[in-house]
Structures are given as C-alpha cells and as structure tokens.
Structure 1
Amino acid sequence: MRFDQNTVNLLKATIEKHGWIDLPAEGFSMYPFIQKGEICRFIRFDHRNLKKGQILLFYSKSGKLIAHRLYRYEKGHYILKGDTNECLDEPVSPAQVIGCLESVQKKKGMIMMHKPFPFLYSQAVVSSPFSARLFRFYLKRRLDEAL
C-alpha cells in the first residue's frame, strides 16, 4: 500500500498526540522477529536515544511504509535493512522516520523492545552478515510447507 505525505503527517500527528500508534505487520522482511499480521506499536522517534539494531518506521521515496532495523548513521542518513533482506535500504533521512518500534503483539504475548531478549536478538542480527541468508532459508521452508 502506498502512502502520500498527508497520510504520513497524520501518522506522525497521531504519535505526537497519543504517544504511540499500532499498525499490523505486512510482508516478510523482518521475519521471524515480526510476522505478518502481528501488531507493532511505534512510539515517538528520538534520534538522541537511538541504538544500532532498533527498528524504525519510515516511508520510502516511493511512498511505502517500512519498518526495518538500524545498522548505522552515516552522512546525515540512517542505514537500515530488513532481517531477511540481503541488501541495505536506500539511505533514509531523519524527516522520513515516523517512529520507533516499542513492542510487538504476538499470538503468545507481547514482546517489549527494551527487554533483554529483543536487545540481544537485534545485536546478533546486525552483527552477523549471514543472518539474512539463514532467515530467508527458514522462511522459504516455512512457506513451502504451508503450500
């Protein structure tokens, strides 16, 4: 689904007013950490408290909403990537960022991003160049079994 600037501004205003916004996950780029249909809660984006491995919600130049993991900050832009993607995203300007992931509502409960497991998981993912291939392999097997 494509979003225009008015919709993006509405999402940002909702986070500013209420402190958060819940959005359902689509796609497989953050699999297995975030799976399709799970509810992701995004809070206000604060660049001062940003850490490598955090998941940011941003809109791409083509108008897509994307939630990917932060790898680094470089030349005034954020460098992000989905966990199952092999390539980094195009650099994202701070103005493109809408929010930061706070929690994921899964079938078996809520995962809070400030807890030790999500933090350690994120550090492992951004530190291992082979994690994307492993996740893609696992995802392909899961999708083949479902068919």
Structure 2
Amino acid sequence: MSSFQSKKGVRLEELFPIIEEKLKLGGSVTFRPHGVSMRPLIRQGKDSVTVGTLDKNPKTGDVIFYRRPDGQFVLHRIVGEDKNGYILCGDNQRILEHGVKQEWIIGILTAVSRKDRILECSGKSYKLYLKAVLPVWRIWVRLRGILGAVKRKIKK
C-alpha cells in the first residue's frame, strides 16, 4: 500500500503536516489507502485504515505506516528485524523490504474499517486473522508466484 488519498480526494502528501502533528499529540488518523500489497486485510476502494501513535518500539507482526526517503508512504507488516533496521512485507507480497529505520515510522495500524465493521488490531478477530488467515494467504502468494512462473515457461 504505497499511495494514499483522503475521502475528499486530497493526496496524503498534502495532509502530512497535519497528520504528523495529530499523531505527535497522541491522536489517530483515518484514511483510505490505495494498492493491493496488504490484501486480504486491506482492500483498495473498500476499506479505511486508522493509524495511531507509536507508543513503543514496534514488534514483528505489527503493521506500520512509514515514509521512505523518496517520500513514498507505505503501510506494511514487520516480518523481522536485523542490524540494518526492520524487515517489512505486504501481506500480498513475496519481496521483503530491508533496512526500514525507526525514524521513518509515522505510526502503527490500530484498525481497519470495512462497510459498517471495524476490525480493531487489538481484538480477537484480528488475532484470528494473524493465526489462521495470514499463514494460509502467505502460502497462496508463494504458490501464485510459482504457478505464474510455470505458466510463463509453458507459453515459451
């Protein structure tokens, strides 16, 4: 999820100073992300996300909202950590992003809203997603990549 737009069509880059200030004051912000990297948890055009203040160092499994040095905003899951920083990956991706620094982090995902439902990241439904849905989805993402490679070989 690397492109973001508010409900009124204002780009996140334009709102960033306000977002940053609100999070510094301990608040939260809600917006609609664009992209498919965090499917099935977050669906483009259907879901809104709420990002809150990061009170402590994030841990593996947390979804963080961060800004890359090139200015791009991203919402991805921490899958590990090494001497160069955090290792992140979207739930719908295979390629890991290494070296994400603590100072890049803007906030942490606290909820996903879809229609009239709110999925709180501290709730039982979200924990079920992490334990049951996400592992199966990760296998599917890997298989999809393998099947795509086989299909391309056959077409040649």
TM-score for the superposition, normalised by structure 1: 0.76
Please report how far the alpha carbon of residue 13 of structure 1 lies from its aligned counterpart in structure 2 after TM superposition.
1.4
CA RMSD in angstroms, aligned pairs only: 2.9
Pairs within 5 Å for 1:104-123: 104-123=112-131
Aligned to 1:28: 36
Which of 36, 40, 60 is equivalent to 1:52? Answer: 60
Aligned to 1:77: 85
Partner-residue secondary structure (3-state), 1:14: helix
> 1:43–1:3: structure 2 CA closer, same or farther, 3 Å change rule?
closer
Aligned to 1:40: 49
Give aligned pairs, total: 135
- CA distance in 2: counterparts of 1:21 and 1:135, whole angstroms: 34
Amino acid at match of 1:68: H
Partner-residue secondary structure (3-state), 1:83: coil
Which of 40, 64, 72 is equivalent to 2:72? Answer: 64
- CA distance in 1: counterparts of 2:64 and 2:144, whole angstroms: 20
Instruction: Work out whether residues 84 and 136 of structure 1, in 8 Å CA contact, stay in contact via their aligned partners in 2.
Output: no
TM-score for the superposition, normalised by structure 2: 0.72
Please report how far the alpha carbon of residue 130 of structure 1 lies from its aligned counterpart in structure 2 after TM superposition.
2.1
- CA distance in 2: counterparts of 1:127 and 1:88, whole angstroms: 18
- Which 5+ residue runs of structure 1 have no aligned equivalent? 138-147
Aligned to 1:140: none
> 1:10–1:94: structure 2 CA closer, same or farther, 3 Å change rule?
farther
Task: Report which stretch shifted further, 56-65 or 13-22.
Answer: 13-22
Structure with the higher fraction of residues in strand conformation: 2
- Which 5+ residue runs of structure 2 have no aligned equivalent? 4-10, 147-156
Identity %: 24
Q: RCO (CA 8 Å, sep 6+): is it higher in 1 or 2?
A: 1
Larger Rg: 2
Aligned to 2:149: none
